[in-house]
A and B are shown apart, each in its own frame.
Chain A
């Protein structure tokens, strides 16, 4: 590749963008509903105003691909119960600090003296465990297939170092079972998917062929720059308009059919599929990745005996329908008035990848512009 090639400008070239938008307009004859799986894609769409330049017939709905939003309330309450303990240094990605549990959030616990550290990688948490042998270090292992390999590496490192003061609170989820859950729901409106580019960079897209065939939906692996997204949308519409339904790759510079096999191998060495509750969606069989029994010593739920914590969510906002693509954030009566990023009612308003936060930041009162 040309070493002067600049990703951040070449994939945002307004002339090229115009060309693809024209082509999308030319071939679109009917209304179509396409779901972008990943919260990062939702943000890029809102950040660049891509929805403004697409034909009116096209509706983009966002999927459940925000790791913060889908982490269930009882797992957040368990995290808070562990983080509040005096001997614990609780390590987490920054996004989780603001997510409210049933009575508190990590920001408040920190203000009351809990030791909470924002880390950029679980490997940093392993380092903290080595440096603080008299403390218990717990890492909040949330996320999709993109973050699971690093979580797995942290366990393998901790085991190799013989660390007895490191554990992880697991709430990991996988994309394909969630896509099946959406497609098999009686209220489903999604006619094609933009698959999450970064998830596919790790996992490949071999898992998607059976879904595409069974439910007869086009699935296009899609990246995050404006041109990437438009290419993905173009390919999806071509399929919808011609009645085909295959898996296509519109993010070839990062994704291959088989994905990153070393990463998949390390995931499977440490974790195994399990049932998992998704906030706002419910339990999806085999949609989670839990620790294998031989790594049970690193399971924070067991070490801190928090498994018994079960929480019922109260029904205030429509986060559930938003995460399933049934509703848009602005269709929620709370959106933008009582529910804002400083005072979130629901998880999608909290995370920087959440759909409501994307809508709030980038398009509130867009009609005024």
Chain B
């Protein structure tokens, strides 16, 4: 190593950026920044209307001559593998839509389901998934009222894609949406984060580790109606799915034009999820959940909400993880375990495992 004198420093060097605005890449489906950009640049550009532009997981539709409002939500479900510890694509399809429409505080009533089936799919497996949908619908108290089936050639689908749409009724005089967080409110999470994402990753079998983590996929409508019994003045309800807790809180901070502080030591994460994330270079804050609820409500309701949630099987580990502030509108700030602060941003594109 005596040749160091020959070293030449090239100095600045950089390739031309790739904006990915010509072709769809996997990152567009991550639920992070790329998804947000795609929605703005393609969908909202042409579909723009007040219901859509509200930016919620549901649309609130007024019924003429009636206090009643309808909450409508739609969702497409793709997942590999089709079954995983704690659930399958069928349970996911029902719970995903039940949860989206429930986030307005509405009572879910009816669901429709379309199936895109790939040639070669075993009918036994399809039936298993359909039974799982029936059970999830029963658990949530919704009825599957219409459906459609299409078949694509082998290689043109991933076994089965399910698209569901739901209708819910909103009778309560509640004003719950992502732009309603107020300074002074508390931020509550219903339980451990990251379980679903890591369970699915593990079920793919390519992590090289074996965990006992189960997906948390569950309908949240019963938990929500119990919360609203004791705290009808709740400001925001949101389920942190794709993009995880970090991305969802960022959306709320932007919609409500407030700052959100969360405390690292309060955020519940299963040890197994934590370890898997550290091994793979993931951050649990960005891992998907399918049965967790964020509640943002006035501070004076915290105890009533927490005790209601902890008594429900869907919210046993509910805990206050942070608060809403006036400063830093649009930003989420994490107080670390060692007493420092940092910004928590939205996820950029797809989460990628690191090298070493």
Closest to A146 in B: B356
In the complex, which residue of chain A has the Cβ closest to the Cβ of B4?
Answer: A184
A107 surroundings in chain B (CB, below 8 A) = 18, 20, 25-27
The answer to whether B26 and A314 have CB atoms under 8 Å apart is no
Q: Which 5 A-B pairs have the closest CB atoms?
A: A49-B340, A94-B352, A341-B348, A313-B13, A285-B3
Q: Is B139 an interface residue when CB atoms closer than 8 A count as contact?
A: no
Tell me if A353 is interfacial: C-beta within 8 Å of chain B: yes
**Residues in chain B within 8 A of chain A (CB atoms):** 1, 3-20, 23-27, 33-34, 37, 206-208, 271, 274-275, 278, 280-281, 327-328, 331, 333, 336-343, 345, 348-350, 352-356
Whether the Cβ atoms of A95 and B352 lie closer than 8 Å is yes
For residue B331, which residues in chain A have a CB less than 8 angstroms away from its CB? Answer: 365, 368
**B44: shortest Cβ distance to chain A, in Å?**
18
Task: Name the B residues within 8 Å of A119 (CB-CB).
Answer: 206
Enumerate chain B residues within 8 angstroms of A180, measured Cβ to Cβ. Answer: 1, 4
Of the candidates A17, A185, A365, the one whose C-beta lies within 8 Å of that of B338 is: A17
Q: Once the chains are docked, how many angstroms separate the CA of A103 from the CA of B184?
A: 50
Cα A185 to Cα B278 with chains together (Å): 35
Q: Is A360 an interface residue (CB 8 A)?
A: yes
- Which residues of A from 71 to 110 have beta carbons under 8 Å from B? 73, 93-95, 97-98, 100-102, 104-105, 107-108, 110
Question: Which residues of the other chain, B, contact A101 by a CB distance below 8 angstroms?
Answer: 15
Q: Is the CB of A177 within 8 A of B352?
A: no
Q: How distant is the Cα of A261 from the Cα of B93 in the complex, in angstroms?
A: 51
Q: Does A304 contact B (CB under 8 A)?
A: no
In the complex, which residues 346-369 of chain A have their Cβ closer than 8 Å to any Cβ of chain B? 346-347, 351-353, 360-366, 368-369
A110 x B345 contact (CB < 8 A): no
> Contact: B13 with A320, CB < 8 Å?
yes
Complex Cα distance, B206 from A142, in Å, reads: 20
Alpha-carbon distance between A9 and B265 when the two chains are bound, in angstroms = 10
* Contact indicator B14/A317 (Cβ below 8 Å): yes
Question: Knowing A14-B337, A93-B354, A285-B3 touch, does A318 contact B8 (C-beta < 8 A)?
Answer: no
Q: Is the CB of A280 within 8 A of B13?
A: yes
Please give, as numbers and ranges, the residues of chain B lying within 8 Å of A73 by CB-CB distance.
Answer: 13, 15
| C-alpha spacing A226/B339, complex, angstroms | 11
15 pairs across A/B with beta carbons < 8 Å?
A97-B352, A104-B18, A108-B20, A108-B25, A110-B26, A111-B23, A111-B26, A120-B207, A124-B206, A285-B4, A314-B15, A341-B348, A342-B349, A343-B18, A366-B341
Check B1–A53 contact: CB distance below 8 A.
Answer: no
A187 to B298, CA, bound (A): 56
Interface string of A38-64 (1 = CB under 8 A from B): 001000001111101100000000000
Q: How far is the CA of A316 from the CA of B12 in the complex (A)?
A: 7
Assess whether B18 is in contact with A324, with CB atoms less than 8 Å apart.
Answer: no
Q: Does A302 contact B (CB under 8 A)?
A: no
Contacts of A143 in B (CB 8 A): 355-356
User: B37 — which chain A residues lie within 8 A by C-beta?
Assistant: 342
Contact partner of A365 among B1, B12, B280, B343, CB < 8 A?
B343
Minimum CB–CB distance for B344 against chain A, Å: 8
**Closest beta carbon of chain A to B26's beta carbon, Å:** 7
* Cα A14 to Cα B264 with chains together (Å): 12
Question: Is B7 touching A181 in the complex (CB atoms < 8 A)?
Answer: yes
